[in-house]
Structure 1
Amino acid sequence: MSPMPHADTLTVVHHDDTRTRFKDVRYQLHRDGIRIWSAEGEHAITDVLMTHAYRHRETAA
C-alpha cells in the first residue's frame, strides 16, 4: 500500500461552490469523495466537485 499524500494546504470545492480549507493534512481520494486526516481529526466528505492540494516544502527521500 502506498503512503497517503500530504498537503500543506488542501481546499475541497463542493457542488454548491462553497469551499472547505484544511492545513497540514494527509488525504485519500475515493470514488465516493475524500477522506482527510488533520490535527482536528478525521473528516469524510462526499460532496466533492474538485480538490486543490499544495505542498510547499520538499518531501524527504
Structure 2
Amino acid sequence: MPHANMLTVVHHDDTRTSFKDVRYELHRDGIRIWSDEGEHVVTDILMTQAYRRREATH
C-alpha cells in the first residue's frame, strides 16, 4: 500500500481535497485513504497527486 506525505485529490468539479501523511489504494471506482483522522472513501476523482519526501542517504 503506497504512502504519501501529501496527497491531493482533484474532483470532477475542480475542487481539491488534501491529506497529509496517509496510506492509500486506488480502485476503479475511487480511492480509499487511511489517515490519522480515519478512513476516507472518495469516488468523484478526476486526478490524484501524491508526494513522498524521503530522507537523503549518503
Q: 2:54 and 2:21 mapped to 1: Cα distance? A: 11
Letter in 1 for 2:43: T
Q: Name 2:2's counterpart in structure 1.
A: 5
> For this pair of structures, how many residues does the alignment match?
55
Calculate the aligned-residue CA RMSD, in Å. Answer: 0.7
Q: Which runs of 5+ in 2 are unaligned?
A: none
- 1:32 matched to 2:26: no
Shift of 1:57: 1.1
In proportion to residue count, which structure has more strand? 2
* TM-score after normalising by structure 1: 0.88
Aligned partner of 1:22 in structure 2 is 19
Task: Give the % identical residues.
Answer: 82
Letter in 1 for 2:32: R
Poorly superposed stretches of 4+, deviation over 3 Å:
none
1:53 & 1:5 partners in 2: Cα distance? 9
